Amino acid sequence: MAKTLREDLAQARVVYHPLRFSVLVRLMKKPGTVKLVAEAIGESPNRLYYHFKLLEEHGLIRVSGTRIVSGIVEKEYESVPGRYKLSSMAGEDLGGLGGVFGAVLQEAFTELGTALERDHQDAALPLSERPLFHWSTVSLNQRRERELRQRIGQLVQELAAASQDDADEQRPIGVMLALYPTGE
């Protein structure tokens, strides 16, 4: 399901912390308890309770189920559907934005690397299973750049809407888009 960050400064400050971002990424992939997420990201569960609380208070994750374990209520969490958009919020101290952006790139790099390795090992993979990667620099005038941004925005909205349909038949697909001046 596609996820999207609301342009809310308080929420952005919560997300723009590398540890909380790691928790959110893990929960976007698969619901889990604090203990399961801690194991998955290599942290102590005790260190994560505060971060889970902040993510839940800011509407980024929610309890998806509970169970009793040794007389204690264990909560399972999931990310709240939406799109998470890392964006520049000029003049605001978001603390950790660089670390979060690095975590985003590392996560995408890891997933893409795994897909490329699988593709390399199995030449018989169908086209739908093969990774698609494109990186280039194009020169555009302001009108064309605005058009490109609008078209990409429309595509992202369309994909987010489609991800709400037929959830049983879907599988997660990594998508990362970036438009930025290269300084050339």
Q: Which residue has the higher pLDDT, 83 or 71?
A: 71
Q: What is the pLDDT of residue 7?
A: 47
Domain count, the chain: 1
Does 42 reside within a domain? yes
Whether the Cβ atoms of residue 3 and residue 163 lie closer than 8 Å to each other: no
Q: Which residue has the higher pLDDT, 70 or 4?
A: 70
Q: What's the pLDDT tens digit per position in 90-148? A: 444 545 555 566 666 777 777 788 888 887 788 787 887 788 888 888 899 999 999 99
**DSSP per position, 115-161:** HHHHHHH-TT--GGGS-----------HHHHHHHHHHHHHHHHHHHH
Does 161 reside within a domain? no
Domain residues for the domain of 110 are: 9-131
For residue 43, name the pLDDT band (cuts at 50, 70, 90). Answer: very high
Residue 67 has pLDDT above 60, yes or no: yes
Does 111 reside within a domain? yes
- The closest alpha carbon to 113, from 27, 26, 174, belongs to 174
- Which residues, in sequence order, are bridge partners of residue 68? 73
Read off the CATH number of the domain in which 106 is found. Answer: 1.10.10.10
∠ CA(128), CA(132), CA(135), 5° rounding?
170
∠ CA(65), CA(31), CA(97), 5° rounding?
125
Does 43 reside within a domain? yes
Does 166 reside within a domain? no
Rounded to a whole number, what is the distance in angstroms from the first to the last CA of the chain?
36
Residue 83 has pLDDT above 60, yes or no: no
